[in-house]
Structure 1
């Protein structure tokens, strides 16, 4: 599994790429692999206000329906509309083409609650060992 070093990760398997005062978010390689083939994505709407740890959409796959939890608070500036017609992009390219939304960072301090790639990889390994 791939966990790019430049990203931050939430315990709910969402990644964050900070770009100035904006953050791009998506699901991790681990999440998409665990879910299996993704068949539908419920995206937030541009203008929605997200609160950290609140649900902001969902991903439907053969194995499960998974809620998406906001890794950060802020306003949704863009959504990846391509996912509506081609949700499988999240399986093929979770870190680039499979991004979900771009969010205006409201509180950069929230970034401190997210994990580094190494910490996230360790937490995933522990989860797999428990199963």
Structure 2
């Protein structure tokens, strides 16, 4: 299992050919209390960089972009009733959607944890 990051503060945790996507702890802290999440539709085909979801907080709305191309295979339905899960546990219970990765080469352009940590200093 590998986790990669985007400069826009999304993470993708790779398990085989599936990616689990959410926002990083840095992003959720910057947004503040999350009050609503607009989830993508299961089956939606995304290209790397497409808007996949929207997270709304008391401060602002923020688009969540697809870190890789692929098809949405699952969404975290719990977020529809408890969007604060993203604040409480962004990298586990607060994941947003799962994607079937169309091209593993898309992962090559993403940041590893060290490079992401430098970005957030």
TM range (shorter): over 0.9
| Distance in 1, Cα, partners of 2:42 & 2:48 | 17
Q: Which 4+ runs in 1 deviate beyond 2 A?
A: none
Query: SS of the residue aligned with 2:37?
Result: strand
Where do 5+ consecutive residues of structure 2 fail to align?
Answer: none
| Distance in 1, Cα, partners of 2:8 & 2:40 | 17
**How many matched pairs?**
121
| Distance in 2, Cα, partners of 1:93 & 1:27 | 10
Q: 2:88 maps to what in 1? A: 92
Tell me by how many angstroms 1:6 deviates: 4.1
Identify the match of residue 80 of structure 1 among 76, 79, 102. 76
| Distance in 2, Cα, partners of 1:54 & 1:102 | 15
After superposition, the CA RMSD in angstroms is 1.1
Structure showing the higher strand proportion among its residues: 2
Does 1:29 pair with 2:25? yes
Tell me by how many angstroms 1:51 deviates: 0.7
| Distance in 2, Cα, partners of 1:16 & 1:118 | 15
TM-score (norm 1): 0.90
